[in-house]
Structure 1
Amino acid sequence: MESIYQRIEALIAERGMTKKAFCQQLGISTGNFGDWKRGKTTPGTNKLIEIATFFDTSLDWLMMGRNPQREMVNEEKESYFFDDLGQLNCQVDQLTQQEKAFIRDYIEFTAYRKKMMKEEETD
């Protein structure tokens, strides 16, 4: 099985770049790149996204070596994920009381987290 490093190395070679040029363009230290090669560390999520974008490849392939499954796109005008009014087809009455409470708690938590992040930015 190929490692993330081996897939990155293949993308670098495919583009005809040097590893040093790749590191410079993406702001990766050669030490970190060497750690990836030795399996000591792996790229973080943000760096994986940056690498996938740079090489125009999928994260699924970069991380797991799997080819992405193409999703079918519905091009006909019919109910898809939306009802006739163009709204999400969420049937609230189908949720249990426990599920509704969880959603309310999550919304409150998200609002609190946003508030805290804004306060941190102003400090």
Structure 2
Amino acid sequence: MESIYQRIEALIAERGMTKKAFCQQLGISTGNFGDWKRGKTTPGTNKLIEIATFFDISLDWLMMGRTPKREMVNEQQESYFFDDLGQLNCQIDQLTEQEKVFIRDYIEFTAYRKKKKKETD
């Protein structure tokens, strides 16, 4: 099984970058990067988000090596989470606390990616 470091290393190579250039662009010390390689530490949550954004990949793939399941995506024209008025199409009390936290985190992550994309454009 590939480690997070091995997936990052493959992405760096795929982009034709040096590891040093990658570290400089993302503000990662070479010492920390070396610790990731040795398995001593792993990137923190914020750094994982930055790396996923930088390479335009999913966090799920970066962290676990799993590709998103396409069959879970609703590609129909019908409402998914929101009705025609932009309201939640589910009852909030039907969600577990863990599901609520996930939704909040995902919204924050999406906003972060949009902000980073605007900064680079």
Q: Report the TM range for the smaller structure's normalisation.
A: 0.5 to 0.7
Which TM-score applies when normalising by structure 1?
0.65
Residues 80 and 56 of structure 1: CA distance in aligned 2, closer, same or farther (over 3 Å): closer
Residues 36 and 109 of structure 1: CA distance in aligned 2, closer, same or farther (over 3 Å): closer
Query: Runs ≥4 in structure 1, deviation > 6 angstroms?
Result: 92-115, 118-123
Higher Cα Rg, which structure: 1
Check the 8 A contact 2:81/2:90 in 1, yes or no: no
Long gaps (5+) in structure 2: none
Post-superposition CA distance 1:78-98 (Å, at most 9, x none): 454445655334458989999
* 1:111, distance to aligned residue in structure 2 (A): 21
Residues 64 and 120 of structure 1: CA distance in aligned 2, closer, same or farther (over 3 Å): closer
Long gaps (5+) in structure 1: none
* 1:59, distance to aligned residue in structure 2 (A): 0.6
Which deviates further from its counterpart, 73-82 or 37-46?
73-82
Looking at structure 2, the residues matched to 6 and 95 of structure 1 have their Cα atoms a distance apart, in angstroms, of 36
RMSD value over aligned CA atoms? 8.5
Which TM-score applies when normalising by structure 2?
0.66
Post-superposition CA distance 1:19-64 (Å, at most 9, x none): 0000000000000000000000000000001001101111111000
